[in-house]
């Protein structure tokens, strides 16, 4: 007898089970599998951050429960970063909240605002946590399709009026996972104005706000005039500093939303290990950080160029993404995204992610994560180029 609650039973089936099985089979046969599936950086956390952590972990005063609202120094470092990087002023007491990774806050924000029967507007394809958090709170996701012919931006005029009327939150994510798309200032302004007209709270996921190429600088939605009245932004140290395993992120913006999330969290978790928060201060304030991030961008850009060039040579109609460490490409004719991913794995030993895993509007695409070194990336793309042509 299955005694699990509905919220567990309604979780979508694990889409990658079949791929995982195929990877294990290929490896058992001795195939040199190259994994470009998961968006987890392959490079280490920079030394200066690790060193700071080593010092802080040894301090007895860091070993007790942290303050629920996060340590003051970390909240201030986040506020300073927003002021310097985006020109956005934040009150470190009321408008900044450390999180156990931004996923934690993104998952919990629905519990703070959604009553059963409410709707959240959710981009599709998208990071699955927006929908899951909505469902866990008893709400219904209203999908906003991200289409290539609209540069993977949602079209607000296509959101049904009834859904907009019932909606509480609108999730946005730029630079975007999985599409690599970026938002213009005009789009951000339109989003704020739409949210204002429809009494929505914008939850902007800014996990990739430092991973951008050439002259492109991602913006904070809080730069838009009036945004702080209705927006909360989720930031993360995971991708910027190769710190996915450390679990450190933050929420900033609308003080009522920050307060609601704070109240929810104090009843669930007891905050981030103080040593990790002090390592976070080091990450955001160290004089080494600027050159570290610059180097990181150069590395991802080199890998991106290998992928884009190879796919173009194989006939893919594709532009290089301006940000993130993903390349989002259409599946050749005759395959579903899952079929194509299985085919690539069987024929080349290269693992990519089927677009369907990010929602129904991800069908017809696959995602390559730029998370192996350039030589491996080149090897993977050689194999793909020698096996398939886009048609
Ligand atoms: C990686 C990622 C996150 C967050 O990660 P944390 O490690 O929980 O901070 C959030 N959103 C998107 C879209 C991501 O790709």
For position 69, what pLDDT does the model report?
Answer: 96
Task: For residue 162, give its domain range.
Answer: 47-285
For residue 84, give Cα distances in angstroms to 79, 209, 338.
9, 14, 43
On whether residue 29 sits in a domain, the answer given is yes
Question: How many domains are contained in the chain?
Answer: 2
> What is the distance between the alpha carbons of residues 237 and 215, in angstroms, rounded to a whole number?
22
Closest CA to 202 of 233, 160, 235, 176: 233
On whether residue 323 sits in a domain, the answer given is yes
* Sequence-ordered list of residues with C-beta below 8 angstroms from that of 149, at least 6 positions apart, any chain: none
Closest CA to 345 of 42, 19, 28, 29: 19
Same domain, 236 and 323: no
Same domain, 260 and 295: no
For position 15, what pLDDT does the model report?
Answer: 67
The answer to whether residues 73 and 272 touch, using CB atoms and an 8 Å cutoff, is no
Neighbours of 226 (CB within 10 A): 12
Averaged pLDDT score across all residues of the chain = 96
Q: Is pLDDT of 309 > 80? A: yes
On whether residue 371 sits in a domain, the answer given is yes
Torsion of CA 337, 343, 348, 351, to 10 degrees: 40
* Sequence-ordered list of residues with C-beta below 8 angstroms from that of 206, at least 6 positions apart, any chain: 173, 174, 218, 220, 221, 233, 234, 235, 236
Measured from the Cα of 249, ligand 1's closest atom is 9
For position 13, what pLDDT does the model report?
Answer: 75
What does the pLDDT look like over 214-224, one tens digit per residue?
999 999 999 99
Distance of CA 133 to the CA centre of its chain: 15
Burial bucket for residue 171 (CB in 10 Å: 0-12, 13-18, 19+): buried
Q: Whose CA is nearest to atom 14 of ligand 1?
A: 207
Residue where a domain stops, chosen among 285, 300, 329: 285
Same domain, 168 and 225: yes
- Domain of residue 155, CATH code: 3.40.640.10
Burial bucket for residue 251 (CB in 10 Å: 0-12, 13-18, 19+): buried
* Sequence-ordered list of residues with C-beta below 8 angstroms from that of 82, at least 6 positions apart, any chain: 88, 89, 90, 220, 222, 252
* Sequence-ordered list of residues with C-beta below 8 angstroms from that of 25, at least 6 positions apart, any chain: none
Measured from the Cα of 173, ligand 1's closest atom is 13
Mean pLDDT over 132-151 rounds to: 97
On whether residue 87 sits in a domain, the answer given is yes
What does the pLDDT look like over 54-77, one tens digit per residue?
999 999 999 999 999 999 999 999
Same domain, 124 and 38: no
- As a three-state string, the secondary structure of 37-102 is CCCCCCCCCCHHHHHHHHHHHCCHHHCCCCCCCCCHHHHHHHHHHHHHHHCCCCCCCCCEEEECCH
For residue 323, give Cα distances in angstroms to 72, 121, 177, 369.
31, 24, 10, 12
Distance of CA 235 to the CA centre of its chain: 9
Q: Could you tell which of 107, 181, 239 is best to mutate to test the pocket of ligand 1, judged by most ligand atoms within 8 Å of the CB?
A: 239
> What is the distance between the alpha carbons of residues 145 and 152, in angstroms, rounded to a whole number?
8
DSSP for residue 357: G
Closest CA to 162 of 198, 112, 204: 198
The answer to whether residues 125 and 361 touch, using CB atoms and an 8 Å cutoff, is yes
Q: Whose CA is nearest to atom 12 of ligand 1?
A: 207
Q: Whose CA is nearest to atom 2 of ligand 1?
A: 207
Measured from the Cα of 103, ligand 1's closest atom is 8
Q: Kindly tell me the number of DSSP H helices and DSSP E strands found in the chain.
A: 13, 12
Measured from the Cα of 239, ligand 1's closest atom is 1
The answer to whether residues 373 and 34 touch, using CB atoms and an 8 Å cutoff, is no
Same domain, 272 and 301: no
143 falls in which pLDDT band (50, 70, 90)? very high
Same domain, 72 and 163: yes
Same domain, 189 and 234: yes
Ligand 1 lining (C-beta closer than 6 Å): 39, 101-103, 127, 173, 177, 205, 207, 236, 238-239, 244, 249
Closest CA to 222 of 88, 77, 85, 76: 88
Same domain, 217 and 133: yes
* Sequence-ordered list of residues with C-beta below 8 angstroms from that of 247, at least 6 positions apart, any chain: 100, 101, 104, 272, 276
On whether residue 391 sits in a domain, the answer given is no
Mean pLDDT over 164-192 rounds to: 98
What does the pLDDT look like over 9-43, one tens digit per residue?
888 777 677 788 889 999 999 999 999 998 999 99
Q: What percent of the chain has pLDDT over 90?
A: 95
């Amino acid at each position: 007898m299955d005694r699990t609650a509905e919220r567990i039973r309604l979780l979508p089936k694990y889409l990658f089970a079949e791929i995982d099985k195929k990877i294990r089979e290929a490896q058992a046969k001795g195939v040199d599998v190259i994994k470009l599936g998961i968006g987890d950086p392959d490079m280490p956390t920079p030394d200066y951050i690790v060193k700071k952590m080593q010092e802080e972990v040894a301090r007895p005063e860091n070993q007790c429960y942290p303050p629920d609202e996060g340590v003051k120094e970390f909240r201030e470092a986040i506020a300073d970063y927003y002021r310097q990087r985006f020109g956005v002023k934040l009150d470190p007491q009321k408008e900044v909240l450390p999180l156990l990774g931004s996923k934690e806050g993104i998952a919990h924000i629905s519990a703070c605002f959604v009553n059963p029967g409410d709707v959240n507007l959710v981009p599709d394809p998208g990071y699955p946590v927006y929908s899951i958090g909505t469902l866990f709170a008893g709400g219904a996701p209203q999908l906003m399709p991200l289409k290539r012919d609209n540069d993977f931006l949602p079209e607000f005029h296509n959101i049904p009026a009834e859904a907009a009327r019932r909606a509480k939150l609108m999730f946005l994510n730029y630079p975007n996972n999985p599409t690599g798309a970026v938002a213009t200032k005009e789009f951000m302004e339109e989003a704020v104005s739409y949210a204002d007209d429809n009494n929505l709270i914008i939850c902007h996921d800014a996990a990739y706000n430092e991973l951008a190429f050439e002259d492109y600088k991602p913006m904070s939605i809080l730069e838009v005039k009036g945004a702080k009245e209705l927006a909360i932004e989720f930031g993360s140290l995971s991708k910027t500093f190769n710190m996915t395993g450390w679990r450190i992120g933050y929420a900033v913006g609308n003080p009522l939303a920050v307060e609601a999330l704070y109240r929810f969290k104090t009843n669930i978790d007891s905050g981030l290990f103080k040593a990790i928060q002090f390592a976070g201060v080091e990450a955001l304030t160290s004089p080494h950080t600027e050159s570290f991030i610059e180097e990181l961008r150069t590395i991802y850009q080199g890998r991106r160029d290998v992928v884009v060039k190879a796919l173009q040579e194989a006939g893919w109609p594709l532009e290089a993404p301006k940000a993130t460490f993903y390349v989002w490409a259409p599946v050749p004719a005759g395959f579903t995204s899952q079929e194509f991913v299985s085919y690539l794995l069987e024929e080349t030993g290269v693992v990519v992610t089927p677009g369907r895993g990010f929602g129904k509007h991800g069908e017809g695409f696959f995602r390559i994560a730029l998370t192996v070194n350039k030589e491996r990336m080149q090897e993977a793309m050689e194999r793909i180029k020698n096996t398939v042509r886009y048609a």
